[in-house]
Structure 1
Amino acid sequence: MKRFGLIAVILFSFLCSCSLEDEDEPSYYLEVMPIDSVEMPEEFVYGETYDILLTYTRPTFCYAFNNFAYDIDGHERTIAVVNSVYTNLDCAQQSGEVTVSFEFSVTGTETYIFKFYQGKDSNGQDQYYLVEVPVVQ
């Protein structure tokens, strides 16, 4: 019985000393990045698919592209670039432009309105770069 008690104490001590979080895993948060420039066609052809190129500035190498925030409201599209910002990495303080893209399939015949997030103004209001793209057949 003493052996069982000793094994139970050792096992319990081992389990309590283990962390469920792996400290080697990078810690991060998500941040929406202002878009600097956009490359897209002046018009769309119904039924076609296009690559839309977005360029933004990455402040350091702790910033890594994660995904797009993409909202659809009728023929209006609101788009923002989302980065993972790693907090426990030693990142070089270098800034640089990054270009990312997404595919856009034209499924409607009305003019599309794109709103590309460009940051906040001095009053904290979101600012957008608006692009209207007509659809031709």
Structure 2
Amino acid sequence: MMRKVFLLLALLTLVVSCSLDDDGRNVSYEFVPITDYELPDSLVLGQKYQFPIRYVSPTDCNAFYGFEYDRRDSTRFVFVVNQVFENENCTTTTDTLEATLNFEVLYNYTYVFKFFKGFDANDEPTYITEEVPVKQP
């Protein structure tokens, strides 16, 4: 599953790097660790939600690009994807930024959210796990 996510990210990088409108800027994409999030105690079937997701942008050359979202049964893997503008004078930052994840409850089971926390010493992804039950409307 993670290989699919990394393959998708690599393909996205390849497509963007092959642009005919080359302005001299090299852009790559990377996952950045999620530091905090807000989820309700329960979800309602059929409802739409907006979850605030906080993450740290490592440099001022990083910019929010979007969310990578992978689903496996009732588990949802959530990643924040940043664009990284390379070959520029970047300054390290510790700014915590916030983005909104739109989510619609389509299934009547407990959702297991796994928010990307970073990589461990073996370069394996680690997650913050949160379970949220679903109620009938």
Task: Please give the alpha-carbon distance, in whole angstroms, between the structure 2 residues aligned to 1:47 and 1:21.
Answer: 43
SS of the counterpart of 2:82? strand
The one-letter amino acid of 1:117's match is: F
Unmatched 5+ residue regions in structure 1? 1-19
So what's the TM-score if we normalise by structure 2?
0.79
The root-mean-square deviation of aligned C-alpha atoms, in Å, is 1.7
**Partner of residue 88, structure 1:** 87
1:55 aligns with 2:16: no
Pairing 1:107-122 to 2, within 5 Å after superposition: 107-122=106-121
Task: Please give the alpha-carbon distance, in whole angstroms, between the structure 2 residues aligned to 1:126 and 1:39.
Answer: 21
Task: Please give the alpha-carbon distance, in whole angstroms, between the structure 2 residues aligned to 1:85 and 1:120.
Answer: 18
Superposition misfits of 4+ residues, deviation over 6 angstroms: none
Task: Please give the alpha-carbon distance, in whole angstroms, between the structure 2 residues aligned to 1:109 and 1:100.
Answer: 26
Task: Please give the alpha-carbon distance, in whole angstroms, between the structure 2 residues aligned to 1:126 and 1:102.
Answer: 20
Q: What are the superposed Cα offsets for residues 25-69 of structure 1, whole Å, 9 maximum, x if unpaired?
A: 421111111111111111001111111111111121100011111
Instruction: Number of aligned residue pairs: give it.
Output: 118
> Percent of aligned positions with the same letter in both sequences?
36
The one-letter amino acid of 1:96's match is: D
Unmatched 5+ residue regions in structure 2? 1-18
Change (3 A) 1:126 1:94: closer
Please tell me whether Structure 1 or Structure 2 has the larger radius of gyration of its CA atoms: 1
Give the Å deviation of 1:100: 0.6
1:104 aligns with 2:100: no
